[in-house]
Amino acid sequence: MKKFTIASLLILGASFSLNAMDKVEKDAEMGHPEPMLFMIDQSLEKNDFMEAAKWIARFKIRVRQDAACCTDKSAAAAMDALTFRQMTNPKFARIATAVPEKTFKKIFTDEVEWVEEKLQKDQLPSPEWIAEYGMSTFIVALGGPASALFIPQSQWKKERMKIIIEYKKALNNS
């Protein structure tokens, strides 16, 4: 199954078909973080700040989970893709006024539960996408030595669950 990266979405640009957009949405609904960025952009374009908040929460949770499975801790820089959008899209600032803090907390709590359910059913996609954001990828591209990029797959669920627990604690204490 073809997965869309943000770069491929940008390259497709205006020729982006409705079928491809449906595919991106399905990938995002399955838990793939990169298509979630596109869903955030789409939601903001429609001024649907509640939907954007949902995708932002889900993206943050999934990036942290997948970064936890990566031995290259610099791969957590994948979160910068969201930061870039915050800096370049003026509609991001409107989320703070359109979505009250209490509502955003509820959305975030719902998304933690959604991700946890997917995790418990072993339905989360591989974290391998996140490696492209780490320094190890650049080192190998420049001819440097390759190293293991991920903890053993048998530990992914445990590491991802730690992130869920951290979010639950933070949400309960706020």
Q: What per-residue confidence (pLDDT) applies to 1?
A: 42
Residue 99's contacts (CB-CB under 8 Å, 6 or more residues apart) are 49, 50, 53, 107
DSSP secondary-structure letter at 100?
Answer: -
Residue 119, amino acid: L
Residue 14's pLDDT is 44
Give the separation between CA 15 and CA 88, rounded to whole angstroms. 23
| Lowest model confidence (mean pLDDT) among 21-30, 33-42, 150-159 | 21-30
Dihedral angle sign, alpha carbons of residues 87, 89, 91, 92: negative
Average pLDDT over all residues of the chain: 87
Instruction: Write down the pLDDT at residue 154.
Output: 97
- pTM of the entire structure? 0.84
